[in-house]
């Protein structure tokens, strides 16, 4: 009897040590899926990969499953099901049934302000690789008769300016937290995704620009992963959208940041150190690989690329900041500098926009509304558009529009003039002349009217 009681007490003590898996969350992304297991205490684990069929087995020491997997939605992920079993030594076995082979990474995270202990499973290598956006896509044709330039025959080879838009945080990382609305704290990741999608819509409507999102939903991407997506898309600009927070809830104001000189120097050192194993191209100076370059030449090439990126980023940041100041209070009236990792791409001009302080109740109340998100996106877009029209990138649609505007001439109609005669005089066609002046075949040519003459 005494032995039985001792065994029972030992069993109860062992169970009391067990960590509980209290919740499971899944974050499918276009090229990976993250599973997060919320655990009541720190754990250790072992893993095993099985095939035919493909499975990932995770044994978690002294743990129990105290939540259901039935509520999980595995759509757009390689996971088909999660099964569990409890072994006699109190080890919890989780079996992830997979649709196909994947690479994976499993690790634990300590508690933070938002979550307790977590076990994280990242799954990669999807069967169908995501299509990467590229430069040189067919240019969107301007709508007929919307401007005096609508009749210009712009070549398909003249590419769009690619804008990579990055919504900060996501998935397991909520970012900064604001006041409660409807019983839930406002999350930075949701606010900035809203602004990002509004900005994407504006850019997509504008001829000569093409938006690329680093994330289109609520999932996590590493900081380096965000800049890599921009580089793979051959982006002309990387813009990361955030909403600041501070311990003093009175802090307020929007701001725009670029990479500091110290941050640029450290990134150059990192690239030079890894150039032997890194065949990445430095696109900003003509698509040059550092892999086979001598140290001095590699340093010179990187320096040229970084200088170009920094100069361009400064100009865009200033234009964006000026337009944001028309709708929002600015934290500082100058562009600020810091060593943010997402700003460290050596060949993509990069800026970081803090749209306001989510920790400030007044600014949080505005940031959560669709109306203000649209206003903020419009201000950002006006800034970057004005910059690229004032500093057109060679061989782009925008550059050809700017050049066409430069060549436009005007002519005042005098008695005896005809459209065909004016067209012949300026080496153009009647049709182009009509389109440039929004005329039809029935339009009357009035004496004294000033005509826009399109480039020949």
Q: In whole angstroms, what is the distance from residue 413 CA to residue 449 CA?
A: 5
Q: Is residue 324 part of a domain?
A: yes
Please state which of the ranges 2-16, 85-99, 212-226 shows the lowest mean pLDDT.
2-16
The number of residues in the chain equals: 456
Q: What does the pLDDT read at residue 274? A: 52
Q: Is 163 helix (H, G, I), strand (E, B) or coil?
A: strand
**Res. 13: pLDDT tops 50:** no
**Res. 303: pLDDT tops 80:** no
Judgement on whether residues 429 and 381 belong to the same structural domain of the protein: no
What CATH number does the domain containing 415 carry?
A: 3.10.350.10
Q: In whole angstroms, what is the distance from residue 207 CA to residue 209 CA?
A: 6
- Which whole-number Å values give the CA distances from 432 to 102, 142, 397, 437, 451, in the listed order? 57, 15, 19, 9, 12
What CATH number does the domain containing 259 carry?
A: 3.40.630.40
Classify the phi-psi angles of 103: left when phi > 0, otherwise alpha if psi is within -120 to 50, otherwise beta: beta
**Res. 296: pLDDT tops 70:** no
Q: Which residue has the tokens 């499953």?
A: 65
What CATH number does the domain containing 55 carry?
A: 2.60.40.3500
Q: What does the pLDDT read at residue 329? A: 93
* Listed residue (151, 163, 132) closest to 393, CA to CA: 163
Please provide the distance, in angstroms rounded to a whole number, between the alpha carbons at the two ends of the chain: 106
Q: How confident is the model at residue 127 (pLDDT cuts 50, 70, 90)?
A: low
Q: What does the pLDDT read at residue 316? A: 96
Q: What is the mean pLDDT of residues 348-354?
A: 92
Where are the extended beta strands (E) located within 135-250? 161-167, 177-181, 184-187, 209-213, 237-244
**Res. 179: pLDDT tops 90:** yes
Q: In whole angstroms, what is the distance from residue 322 CA to residue 17 CA?
A: 58
Element (H, E) at 25: strand 19-28
Tell me: the pLDDT tens digits for 420-454? Answer: 988 888 888 888 888 888 898 888 888 889 888 87
Q: Is residue 315 part of a domain?
A: yes
Q: What is the mean pLDDT of residues 53-72?
A: 92
Q: Give pTM, 2 decimals.
A: 0.69
Judgement on whether residues 269 and 186 belong to the same structural domain of the protein: yes
Q: What does the pLDDT read at residue 255? A: 92
Q: Is residue 197 part of a domain?
A: yes
| Between residues 158 and 235, the one the model is more confident about | 235
Q: Is residue 4 part of a domain?
A: no
Q: How confident is the model at residue 222 (pLDDT cuts 50, 70, 90)?
A: confident
| Between residues 237 and 441, the one the model is more confident about | 237
Q: In whole angstroms, what is the distance from residue 343 CA to residue 322 CA?
A: 20
Q: What does the pLDDT read at residue 140? A: 37
* Tokens matching residue 150: 């609508």
Percentage with pLDDT > 90 across the chain? 46
Last residue of a domain, one of 345, 364, 394: 394
Q: Which residue has the tokens 């839930």?
A: 184
Tell me: the pLDDT tens digits for 67-79? Answer: 988 889 999 899 9
Q: What is the DSSP letter of 170?
A: B
Q: Is residue 166 part of a domain?
A: yes
Q: What does the pLDDT read at residue 294? A: 57
Judgement on whether residues 169 and 283 belong to the same structural domain of the protein: yes
Q: What does the pLDDT read at residue 295? A: 58
Angle at 67 between CA 63 and CA 69, to 5 degrees: 110
Sign of the Cα pseudo-torsion (200, 201, 203, 204, in order): positive
Secondary structure (DSSP) of 233-264: TT-SEEEEEEEE--SSTT---BEEEEE-HHHH
Q: In whole angstroms, what is the distance from residue 148 CA to residue 453 CA?
A: 9
Helix extents (H) in 358-415: 361-367, 370-390, 397-407
**Res. 206: pLDDT tops 70:** yes
Residue 35: Cβ within 10 Å count? 26
Judgement on whether residues 445 and 369 belong to the same structural domain of the protein: no
Q: Is 47 helix (H, G, I), strand (E, B) or coil?
A: strand
Q: What does the pLDDT read at residue 202? A: 97
Contact 219, 34 (CB under 8 A): yes
Please state which of the ranges 157-171, 402-416, 429-443 shows the lowest mean pLDDT.
402-416
Q: In whole angstroms, what is the distance from residue 382 CA to residue 323 CA?
A: 7
Q: How confident is the model at residue 144 (pLDDT cuts 50, 70, 90)?
A: very low
Q: Which residue has the tokens 């989780």?
A: 94
Judgement on whether residues 309 and 218 belong to the same structural domain of the protein: yes
* Tokens matching residue 192: 């900035």
**Res. 333: pLDDT tops 70:** yes
Q: Count Cα atoms within 13 angstroms, Cβ side, for 396.
A: 19
Q: Is residue 407 part of a domain?
A: yes
Contact 301, 293 (CB under 8 A): yes
Q: What does the pLDDT read at residue 163? A: 96
**How many domains, the chain?**
3
Q: What does the pLDDT read at residue 111? A: 85
Domain that holds residue 436: 401-453
Q: Which residue has the tokens 């430095």?
A: 282
Tell me: the pLDDT tens digits for 249-286? Answer: 888 999 999 988 776 556 555 544 554 334 344 444 44
Last residue of a domain, one of 367, 394, 421: 394
Q: Is residue 129 part of a domain?
A: no
Q: What is the DSSP letter of 285?
A: G
Please state which of the ranges 65-74, 299-308, 372-381, 399-408 shows the lowest mean pLDDT.
299-308
3-state helix, strand, coil in the chain (%, to 5): 35, 25, 40
Last residue of a domain, one of 394, 410, 425: 394
Q: What does the pLDDT read at residue 246? A: 85
Q: How confident is the model at residue 123 (pLDDT cuts 50, 70, 90)?
A: very high
Judgement on whether residues 213 and 318 belong to the same structural domain of the protein: yes
Q: What does the pLDDT read at residue 40? A: 93
Q: How confident is the model at residue 129 (pLDDT cuts 50, 70, 90)?
A: very low
In sequence order, what are the beta bridge partners of 48?
A: 57
Cis peptide before 53 (omega within 30 of 0): yes
Q: What does the pLDDT read at residue 133? A: 39
* Listed residue (249, 195, 262, 237) closest to 345, CA to CA: 237
Tell me: the pLDDT tens digits for 380-408? Answer: 999 999 999 999 988 888 988 888 777 76
Contact 305, 290 (CB under 8 A): no
**Max avg pLDDT among 59-68, 108-117, 294-303:** 59-68
């Amino acid at each position: 009897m005494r032995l039985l009681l001792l065994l029972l007490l030992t069993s109860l003590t062992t169970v009391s040590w067990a960590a509980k898996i209290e919740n499971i969350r899944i974050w499918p992304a276009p090229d990976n899926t993250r599973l997060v297991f919320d655990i009541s205490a720190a754990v250790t684990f072992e893993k095993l990969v099985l095939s035919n069929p493909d499975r990932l087995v995770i044994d978690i020491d002294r743990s129990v499953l105290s939540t259901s997997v039935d509520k999980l939605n595995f759509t757009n992920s390689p996971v088909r099901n999660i099964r569990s079993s409890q072994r006699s030594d109190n080890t919890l076995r989780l079996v992830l049934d997979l649709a196909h082979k994947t690479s994976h990474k499993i690790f634990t995270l300590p508690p933070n302000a938002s979550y307790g202990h977590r076990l994280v499973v990242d799954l990669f290598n999807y069967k169908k690789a995501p299509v990467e956006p590229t430069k040189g896509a067919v240019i969107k044709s301007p709508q007929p008769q919307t401007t005096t330039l609508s009749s210009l025959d712009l070549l398909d080879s003249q590419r769009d300016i690619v804008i990579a838009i990055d919504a900060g945080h996501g998935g397991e990382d909520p970012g900064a937290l604001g006041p409660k609305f409807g019983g839930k704290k406002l999350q930075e990741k949701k606010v900035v995704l809203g602004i990002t999608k509004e900005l994407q819509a504006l850019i997509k409507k504008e001829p000569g620009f093409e938006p690329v999102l680093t994330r289109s939903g609520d999932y996590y991407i590493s900081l380096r992963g965000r800049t890599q997506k921009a580089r793979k898309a051959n982006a002309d600009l990387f813009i990361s959208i955030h909403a600041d927070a501070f311990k003093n809830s009175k802090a307020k104001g929007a701001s725009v940041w670029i990479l500091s000189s110290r941050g640029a120097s450290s990134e150059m050192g990192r690239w030079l150190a890894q150039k032997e194993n890194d065949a990445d191209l430095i696109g900003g100076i003509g698509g040059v690989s550092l892999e086979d370059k001598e140290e001095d030449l590699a340093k010179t090439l990187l320096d040229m690329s970084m200088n170009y990126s920094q100069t361009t980023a400064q100009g865009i940041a200033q234009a964006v900041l000026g337009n944001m100041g028309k709708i929002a209070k600015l934290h500082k009236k100058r562009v600020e500098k810091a060593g943010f990792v997402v700003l460290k791409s050596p060949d993509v001009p990069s800026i970081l926009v803090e749209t306001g302080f989510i920790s400030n109740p007044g600014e949080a109340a505005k940031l959560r509304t669709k109306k203000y998100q649209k206003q903020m996106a419009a201000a950002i877009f006006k800034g970057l558009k004005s910059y690229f029209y004032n500093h057109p990138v060679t061989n782009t649609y925008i550059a050809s529009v700017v050049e066409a505007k430069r060549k436009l001439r005007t002519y005042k109609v005098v008695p005896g003039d005809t459209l065909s005669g004016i067209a012949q005089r300026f080496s153009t066609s009647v049709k182009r002349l009509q389109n440039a002046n929004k005329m039809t075949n029935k339009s009357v040519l009035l004496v004294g009217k000033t005509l826009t003459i399109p480039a020949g």
